[in-house]
Structure 1
Amino acid sequence: MAQEITASQLSGLRVFAVAARLHSYSAAAAELHVTQAAVSQQIRNLEQSLNCRLFRRQGTQMLLTEQGEQLQPLVEQGLALLHQGLSLLTDPPLAGPLVISVLPSLAARWLMPRLWRFTSAYPTIDIRLLPSQQLADLSRDKVDLAIRYGQGHYPGLHSELLMRDMAFPVCSPALAARLHQVDDLEQVTLVAAPEYAGVSWQNWLALSGRQSLLAHCRSVTVDDGSLALDMVLAGQGVALSRSVLVAELLREGRLCRPFVEQLAPLHQYYMVWHPDSPKQARIRAFCQWLLQEADSVTPAG
């Protein structure tokens, strides 16, 4: 019948593993934050309980005896398995579903084209996107993480800045060739969205010194930024869009910036989650990936 390991032996085996690795009682004491005398006592007690010598002194080093060399790999394996077992109980599981609320425009123009990189790196995390204009309730709507466009103040929730953006007009290259000055906007259709966070054609024209021009322009209002860009890509007008949404389209040459003036929105993109969520490991993995993707985006121009 196998002999049970006592609490004293288990403590001694942990000290033994460190001392065997470092070949020094004093170095082991420093790593374990105890005195050298305490290490010596633990080893001595362990040797007495096992009725064998585990170390022999050679100069300033403590080398393993034959019995110590036999014991060392077994102790290391045992401690590693014990640590692994404890981690299963204390660390949140990484595998499983992660429900994310995100604005439809950001999902379509920024997140979805990149998401394959996350799913390749974390195949065990099942991403479930909920594109919606509505502000998700993380307690009631069973949402684990929200990417919100706001000012970062969400009582009871943890928030972290994801990225900033700017607002400016964009249009197709063919249409851009006809726009030499701001007054030329009278000849085209302005694709607009309801004013939010200070972003509106009225505010952009005021920034350009031509606020009165709005009364003479044709306009179409679209409630979704991605749909507005679809109209512009088809050459049907000029949209006041945000840099995060159009960065790739500008780099690809599918859209142009006809004017340099730009607005700084009052809101920015934030990652928001409940601090007590049981899915912290998944949330941290996804947020870290989001930040890496945001850092890789160069300013649109």
Structure 2
Amino acid sequence: MGGFRRQLPSMTALVVFEAAARQASFTRAAAELGITQAAVSRQVQALEASLGFPLFRRLHRTIELTEPGRALAASMSEALGIVAQTVRTITSAKAANELTISATVAFSHFWLLPKVSSFRQADPDIRLKIVTQDSHIDLQRDEVDVAIRYGDGTWPDGKAIMLFGDDVFPVCSPDYLAARGSPDCVADLARHNLIASDSMGPGWIGWEQWLAAFGHGNNPRNITLSCNFYTDALYAAMRGEGIALGWHRLVDDLLQRRQLVRVSVETLRPRSAYYVVLKHGAMKQSVAAFLDWIRGEANAAAPAPLENTLYANESAVSGG
């Protein structure tokens, strides 16, 4: 038996005919298909010529299906409906196994990526995509399933589930500390080479807020290097360029490997925290699997408590 191509006329002409029959208008079919009315007319005429009989009666300012036209229109509508439903089913099944996660550059680089292999091993069928950017992604408009954010947990585009809070303290390389010595106090710290980074959003702590929490907000600060990404600030600190602020959850591995060391006992615990933010509505299976994994990982990978720590009053940080 020959293939369908030998048994059927042009598929393009058939699709154009179906639209014209359903719309009962060459003009409306043209608008639906994004082609001209003349192109619709030509396709229908070519189809009629290949079949050997008319499909429409051309009346004054209107068209009307012939008996063969009605039969072919019904078959085309049913056939295209079946194809469309099959495509929806296939793409829906594929989408259920896809997961797109948004995270800041720092969280993705220092926390998520070092741990995500365990998620991929647990759910190897899920196709994972990680979107790293510090600018805000709208879950309602962008093609993202889950966002990991730092803040107060109030975002209108999704449901926020708290992962963990964090502690912020100064860090530098062992070589820098050996060469320059440990600061005697916060005021002495402000005179060291400080590395700053641009804010990643509300609640993110910079040197001004951190020093203010310990009563030194008005002291002169020796900012010798400023970076627009927090990751760059940490790499500069590891290279011995100065002292940066370290988020315990992000720098814990670097502390364990002695690529960074804690500089002082003063530590700030902001009111903001890390959250998993989910789209409103039904939860995909892949999202549920990721949520279970990251909550378990957040508990299992909690860094050891800081010893000999002097915590600042949280209320000393405005907006944090």
Q: TM-score, normalised by structure 1?
A: 0.64
1:33-72 → structure 2 map (5 Å cutoff): none
1:1-301 → structure 2 map (5 Å cutoff): 96-155=97-156, 157-177=158-178, 178-182=181-185, 183-185=187-189, 188-195=192-199, 196-197=202-203, 199-213=205-219, 215-277=220-282, 280-300=284-304, 301=306
Q: Specify the SS of the correspondent of 1:146.
A: strand
Mapped contact 2:139–2:157 kept (Cα < 8 A): no
1:112-148 deviation per Cα after TM superposition (whole angstroms, max 9, x unaligned) = 0111111011000011000011111112111111111
Mapped contact 1:96–1:126 kept (Cα < 8 A): yes
1:254-285 deviation per Cα after TM superposition (whole angstroms, max 9, x unaligned) = 211111111222321111111324x5211111
Change (3 A) 1:173 1:285: same
Equivalents in 2 of 1:240, 1:250: separation in Å?
A: 13
Equivalents in 2 of 1:186, 1:290: separation in Å?
A: 37
- Greater CA drift, 196-205 or 267-276: 196-205
- Matched with 2:6 is none
Q: Alignment identity in percent?
A: 33
Change (3 A) 1:153 1:218: closer
Mapped contact 2:158–2:278 kept (Cα < 8 A): yes
Equivalents in 1 of 2:230, 2:107: separation in Å?
A: 8
Mapped contact 1:152–1:160 kept (Cα < 8 A): yes
The alpha carbon displacement at 1:154 in A equals: 2.2
The alpha carbon displacement at 1:219 in A equals: 2.9
Mapped contact 2:198–2:230 kept (Cα < 8 A): no
Q: Which runs of 4+ in 1 moved over 4 A?
A: 92-95
Equivalents in 2 of 1:273, 1:186: separation in Å?
A: 40
The alpha carbon displacement at 1:292 in A equals: 1.1
Amino acid in the other structure paired with 1:201: W
Superposed CA RMSD = 2.4
1:83-120 deviation per Cα after TM superposition (whole angstroms, max 9, x unaligned) = xxxxx9xxx88962101110010000000011111101
How many corresponding residue pairs? 210
The alpha carbon displacement at 1:194 in A equals: 3.0
Change (3 A) 1:99 1:251: same
Change (3 A) 1:216 1:202: closer
Q: Structure 2: which 5+ runs fail to align?
A: 1-88, 307-320
Equivalents in 1 of 2:239, 2:193: separation in Å?
A: 12
The alpha carbon displacement at 1:166 in A equals: 1.4
Mapped contact 1:158–1:273 kept (Cα < 8 A): yes
Change (3 A) 1:165 1:253: same
Mapped contact 1:192–1:228 kept (Cα < 8 A): yes
Q: Structure 1: which 5+ runs fail to align?
A: 1-87
The alpha carbon displacement at 1:156 in A equals: 5.2
Equivalents in 2 of 1:129, 1:105: separation in Å?
A: 13
